[in-house]
Amino acid sequence: MASQAVTAALHQIESVPVSDRPAQYTALLQQITGSSNNVAADLKAYAQALLDDSLGIVVMRPLLAAFVDAFRIVQDADSKIEVGEMVITLLQSKGAGQYEEQDTQIKHALADAFEQNEDYRRSAQTLATINLESTQKSVSADDKAKVWIRIVRCYLEEDDPTNAFSHLNKIKNILFSVQDKETKVMFQLSQARILDSQRSFLDAAQAYYGISNEPLVDSDERERFLGRAIICTVLAPAGPQRGKMLARLYKDDRASAADDYAILEKIFLNRLLTPAEIKAFSAKLDPHHLARGSDGLTVLDKAILEHNLLGASKLYNNIGFDQLGELLGIDAEKAEEFAAKMLEQGRLAGYIDQIDRFVFFEGEASGERKTGHAERIVGKELRKWDANVTGLAEEVEKVTSMIQNQYPAFYASQVVH
């Protein structure tokens, strides 16, 4: 409730001529900001009286601008929200388009209060009501992008990548016109976080890695984003595309100082990971990295299974379903399922013999999705046999030539004429 002094002053203003009111409103606002014991309540009463007054737009705008400056200094978030929401409602009833600049500034301050209370969704919703297609003034691409970036970050704090993505798409349409480099970096970071939340880990890793090389970003932050790039790469589906990202990270001079360099190195070198290493790595992951799917496996579980399967392809020419399951720590049917999926998607080279229950590995994967079930080349096994026989014959011929050179008499005696 407003103080008696402010209530009395507002009644006094109502009784004076309209031409004298602006000066009295200004004096009262200074009194409220300078000595009021309840700034929020007094500002609320002041705004109600001011916006109910019959002052013209030209007179009202500077008075509202001064009110906005006073409104910003309110420290208590709840009080600020109460005052701000009331003023926005009053402005809408008068036609917010007439006071667009003041409406925008109040909404920014109100969003600050919501964020102070960690209510990021209401902050985003408030910012989304700002008119960025003003008819009164031209809003630059930079100003639009800054508002939308803030909305995106609020939704990400609420773990809502869907709404975040919809506002990020708005920035994409004007990004070519944005001049502020910091805003562009924030766009890249927001994009990386959304891709990470959506489990598009390979794209997220590339985005994080790009930010880790951005000179505008603080050195400590660059190291943190490099670490995020490593984590997302580890979680990405095993295959040629991830292999390229692993190589880029492994060859980066900064990677050796990263916390997860050991696991990065093992995966890059196609070495099998131990349960202890996996457990230590999982302790650093975010909740969405560890959420379980319908098959009961986490993203990390799948990533490690696929990596170990890829590692097995480097150690074996072929392996039975039972042995593969034992190697991966799952049952034979699940091992066959994982192998079949990776083979179909071109992330593993080879084929499955379901009759003999074997997986056959055939060198490096192409990364291209297969359209057939097996896509075995006709006569491939026969050609492989022919190549082995040819190789053996060539080796025998080399030995024969060496005997002829070293022991010509013996060789001559053995030759049948």
Q: Where are the alpha helices (DSSP H) in 73-200?
A: 77-94, 100-116, 120-128, 141-157, 161-172, 181-197
Better pLDDT: 173 or 54: 173
Q: Is residue 335 within 8 Å of 321, Cβ to Cβ?
A: yes
- What percent of the chain is modeled with pLDDT above 90? 28
pLDDT tens for each residue of 308-364: 888 788 888 888 888 888 887 788 888 888 888 888 877 788 888 888 888 888 766
Maximum Cα–Cα distance across the chain: 137
Q: What is the pLDDT of residue 367?
A: 53
pLDDT band at 121 (very low <50, low <70, confident <90, very high): very high
Which of 201-210, 231-240, 267-276 bottoms out in mean pLDDT, i.e. has the lowest? 267-276
Which one, of 261, 236, 273, 268, lies nearest residue 347 by Cα? 236
Q: Find the mean pLDDT for residues 43-68.
A: 85
Q: Is residue 237 within 8 Å of 245, Cβ to Cβ?
A: no
Alpha carbons 237 and 223: distance in angstroms, whole number = 24
Q: Which residues share a beta bridge with 320?
A: 358
Q: What is the pLDDT of residue 139?
A: 84
| Residue given tokens 């070293």 in the structure block | 406
Structure tokens at 72: 């910003």
Structure tokens at 217: 């970003």
Q: Is residue 366 within 8 Å of 349, Cβ to Cβ?
A: yes
| Residue given tokens 């297609």 in the structure block | 133
Q: What residues have CB less than 8 Å from 247, skipping those under 6 apart?
A: 268
pTM score of the predicted model: 0.72
Identify the burial level of 20 via C-beta atoms within 10 angstroms of its C-beta, where 0-12 means exposed, 13-18 middle and 19 or more buried: exposed
pLDDT tens for each residue of 261-306: 988 998 898 887 777 888 888 888 888 888 787 777 888 888 888 8
